[in-house]
Structure 1
Amino acid sequence: MSKTELANQQVNVKQINHDLMEMLANVVWVEEYELKQSPFSALTVKEVHTIYAISMYEEKTASQVAKAVHLSPSAMTTAIDRLVDKGYVERRRSKEDKRVVKLGLTHQGRILYRAHQALHFKVTKALLEDMSNEEALAMERAVHNLQAYLKALIDS
């Protein structure tokens, strides 16, 4: 398709909306399916996202993680207790302030983190696979705009 033909195309907002909704549902399904096929099948997708929010390299407080995964502090405490019992997360006293408890990933938690990250990278690479650099930059802007909009809704 020539640049002129591309310039004359109309954006089909209804189709984009439909595809976005279908894509979101499919991402959830793929995450659940991949999880059930993995050595981590005893976990829920929400638990995996909690582990991912704790992060690989920095310790976070339970309230920081709760905010990231949109859970109340009490629900976060229950979720963390389960992940500690399952061997994916550990509580560590802050070296600077012994009253502060930080969350960190165990060896098993780091393995899961890397596996989940690899799945996300695979999906992202598939999204960008046949795009030109210009198209990929437009996609980057679109994803950034959508994320900013969603974050503003959450924060309001």
Structure 2
Amino acid sequence: MDTYAALNDVLVNLFRDIMELEEQAIITQEYQDITNNDMHVIEAIGVGEPKNMSTIAKLLSVTVGTLTIAMNSLVKKGYVIRERGKEDRRVVYISLSEKGLRAYRHHEEFHRQMIEAVLENLTEDETESLVKALAKLERWFRRTEEN
């Protein structure tokens, strides 16, 4: 198999496998009422200061309209809290509820285990090369996304 075909197979399979594994690991009995996409919205909201809808939409590369649909569902299910700005009542700030924080930590633990498994058998040089290669790939995706 040539390099092109090998890389194509690895990238396509890796993307699919990560999505499937993540769904199996994340959507447990406790979180069966949300989807993988919901979990990524929860991740984008994060645990720091509340964020406005535009900021979250930009992090997820979706429109505010698309995000609103997901947000309505997450609010209804008790994962997310919406609050109007104190200084500007037109601005809506989003933060995680206690339930949302538990889901966030659950998702974070999956990622920690995934990274530990990836790094487990790599040398320091291999790890450095992997990080550099993936960073270049990410930059290419971001440039493509912007066009």
TM-score, normalisation: structure 2: 0.91
Report the AA paired with residue 19 of structure 2: V
Secondary structure of the structure 2 residue equivalent to 1:104: strand
Alpha-carbon distance in structure 2 between the residues aligned to 1:75 and 1:107:
24
8 Å CA contact retained: 2:50, 2:94: yes
Q: Which residue of 1 aligns with 2:122?
A: 131
2:141 pairs with one of 128, 150, 155: 150
Secondary structure of the structure 1 residue equivalent to 2:48: coil
Q: Which residue of 2 aligns with 1:3?
A: none
Secondary structure of the structure 2 residue equivalent to 1:127: helix
Moved over 3 A (4+): 95-98
Q: Which residue of 2 aligns with 1:35?
A: 26
Deviation at 1:115, TM superposition (A): 0.7
Q: Which residue of 1 aligns with 2:95?
A: 104
1:52 aligns with 2:23: no
Secondary structure of the structure 1 residue equivalent to 2:83: strand
Alpha-carbon distance in structure 2 between the residues aligned to 1:38 and 1:25:
23
Q: Which residue of 2 aligns with 1:84?
A: 75
Deviation at 1:88, TM superposition (A): 0.5
Deviation at 1:38, TM superposition (A): 3.8
* Aligned residues: CA RMSD: 1.6
8 Å CA contact retained: 2:26, 2:106: no
Deviation at 1:131, TM superposition (A): 0.8
Report the AA paired with residue 58 of structure 1: E
1:42-65 residue CA offsets vs partner (Å, 9 max, x unmatched): 101111111111111121111111
Q: Sequence identity, in percent?
A: 29
Deviation at 1:135, TM superposition (A): 0.8
1:21 pairs with one of 6, 9, 12: 12
Report the AA paired with residue 137 of structure 2: L
TM-score, normalisation: structure 1: 0.86
Report the AA paired with residue 51 of structure 1: I
Secondary structure of the structure 2 residue equivalent to 1:14: helix
Number of aligned residue pairs: give it. 146
Which runs of 5 or more structure 1 residues have no equivalent in the other structure? 1-10
